[in-house]
C-alpha cells in the first residue's frame, strides 16, 4: 500500500495571523508557522493503514523553504520520506493553482491512497480533496471520521450534521480526515532522531513540468482587493452576579426584545 499524505504549513491558529499589506497574501514569513493541525490526523491514519497492511508513507507539501519543519514533524511521527515542492513562482497561488501543482507532483508518485486534512486552518476552504479528485480523475472520500481499507476498496464515514454518510470507492482514492478520526501520536525521541536521516526530495515547478506562468499571485483566478481588521466591538455591559445576575441578564434580553 503506497500512501501519500499531504501536509501544509500554516500560521498557528492560536496566534495573531495577518495578511501582508504589500500584496494581500497571507503573511507567512512573520508568522508563527506550524503544521496544519488537521494534517496530523491524516498522518496518523496513514501510519495506521501502513501498520496493518504494509507499504510506504510519503509526505508531500507545496510551500516555502520553512515548510521543511512541517515535513520533519510528519517524518518524526513515522512517515518514510517526503517530497517538498518549492519555487519562488508559487508565491500567492490560490487553491485552484495549488491543486494543479499538487496534482502534478502526485502524478510523479505511486499511490493507492492520498490522505489529507479535512481543512487547512489558514484558508479554511476544505476544497483540496475535491480539486484533486477532479484533476486526477480518482474518487474523493472527503470529511472522514472513520476509514476502512479492504482489498481494493476504501470506505469512509463522512461526518455530517447529526450523523454520517457511508461512502465507498475503489482505490486509488483521495481521503480527507477530521479530528474525530483518531488521536495522533506524539513523535518519540527516536522518531525525531530518525526523521533527520529520512530522504526529502525537493522539486521545482520545472521538475514537475508546470509552467510558472500558470501559478502565483499574478496568474491567480481570484484576487484579494483589500482587507481590514474587524472593527473593534464597543465595550459591552458586564455585571457581577450577586444573586441578581439572572434577573439582569433576562432584563437585557427583554430590552433587546429577545424575550
Ligand X SMILES: Nc1ncnc2c1ncn2[C@@H]1O[C@H](COP(=O)(O)O)[C@@H](O)[C@H]1O
Q: Which residues bind ligand FAD (CB under 6 A)?
A: 13-14, 37, 121
Q: Which of 54, 124, 151, 209 binds other proteins (CB under 8 A)?
A: 124
Given candidates 81, 135, 185, 198, which one binds other proteins under the rule CB under 8 A?
Answer: 135
Among residues 28, 35, 39, 174, which is the contact residue for ligand X, using CB under 6 A?
A: 39
Question: Interface with ligand X includes 11 (CB under 6 A)?
Answer: no
Instruction: Write out the binding residues for other proteins, residues 20-79 only, by CB under 8 A.
Output: 24, 37-38
Residue 36 Cβ, how far from ligand X at the closest point, in Å? 5
Minimal distance in Å, beta carbon 142 to other proteins? 6
Burial (Cβ within 10 Å: 0-12, 13-18, ≥19) of residue 74: buried
DSSP letter, residue 69: H
Nearest approach in angstroms of CB 199 to other proteins is 31
Bridge partners (DSSP) of residue 208 are none
CB of 233 to other proteins, least distance (A): 6
Residues 132-171 that bind ligand X (CB under 6 A): none
**Distance (Å, rounded) from C-alpha 103 to C-alpha 249?**
54
Q: Are 59 and 71 in contact (CB under 8 A)?
A: yes
Separation of first and last alpha carbons in the chain = 59
Question: What is the rounded (10 degree) CA torsion for 42, 204, 112, 110?
Answer: -140
Q: Which of residues 89-118 bind ligand X (CB under 6 A)?
A: 95, 98, 102, 116-117
C-alpha cell at 146: 472513520
- Among ligand FAD, ligand X, other proteins, none, residue 258 binds (CB under 5-8 Å by kind): other proteins
Output b/e per residue, 193-222; b: 16+ Cβ within 10 A: eebeebeeeebebeebebeeeebbbeebee
Is 173 in contact with 181 (CB distance < 8 Å)?
Answer: no
Closest residue to ligand X using C-beta atoms: 117
The residues of the shown chain that bind ligand X, judged by CB under 6 A, are: 6-8, 36, 38-39, 61-63, 95, 98, 102, 116-117, 119-120, 123, 125-128
Amino acid at each position: 500500500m503506497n500512501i501519500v499524505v499531504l501536509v501544509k504549513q500554516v500560521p498557528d491558529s492560536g496566534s495573531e495571523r495577518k495578511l501582508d499589506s504589500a500584496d494581500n497574501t497571507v503573511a507567512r514569513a512573520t508568522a508563527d508557522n506550524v503544521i496544519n493541525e488537521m494534517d496530523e490526523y491524516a498522518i496518523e491514519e496513514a501510519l495506521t493503514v501502513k501498520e496493518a497492511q504494509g507499504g510506504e508513507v510519503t509526505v508531500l507539501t507545496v510551500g516555502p523553504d520553512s515548510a521543511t519543519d512541517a515535513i520533519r514533524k510528519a517524518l518524526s511521527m513515522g512517515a518514510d520520506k517526503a517530497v517538498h515542492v518549492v519555487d519562488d513562482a508559487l508565491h500567492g497561488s490560490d487553491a485552484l493553482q495549488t491543486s494543479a501543482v499538487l496534482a502534478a507532483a502526485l502524478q510523479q508518485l505511486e499511490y493507492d491512497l492520498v490522505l489529507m486534512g479535512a481543512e487547512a486552518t489558514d484558508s479554511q476552504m476544505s476544497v483540496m480533496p475535491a480539486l484533486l479528485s477532479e484533476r486526477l480523475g480518482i474518487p474523493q472520500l472527503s470529511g472522514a471520521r472513520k476509514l476502512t481499507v479492504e482489498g481494493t476498496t476504501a470506505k469512509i464515514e463522512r461526518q455530517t450534521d447529526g450523523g454520517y454518510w457511508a461512502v465507498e470507492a475503489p482505490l486509488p482514492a483521495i481521503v480527507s480526515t477530521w479530528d474525530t478520526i483518531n488521536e495522533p501520536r506524539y513523535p518519540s525521541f527516536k522518531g525525531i532522531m530518525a526523521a533527520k536521516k529520512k530522504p526529502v526530495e525537493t522539486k521545482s515547478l520545472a521538475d514537475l513540468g508546470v509552467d510558472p506562468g500558470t501559478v502565483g499571485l499574478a496568474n491567480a483566478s481570484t484576487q484579494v482587493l483589500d482587507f481590514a481588521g474587524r472593527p473593534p466591538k464597543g465595550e459591552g455591559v458586564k455585571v457581577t452576579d450577586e444573586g441578581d445576575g439572572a434577573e439582569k441578564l433576562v432584563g437585557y434580553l427583554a430590552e433587546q426584545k429577545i424575550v
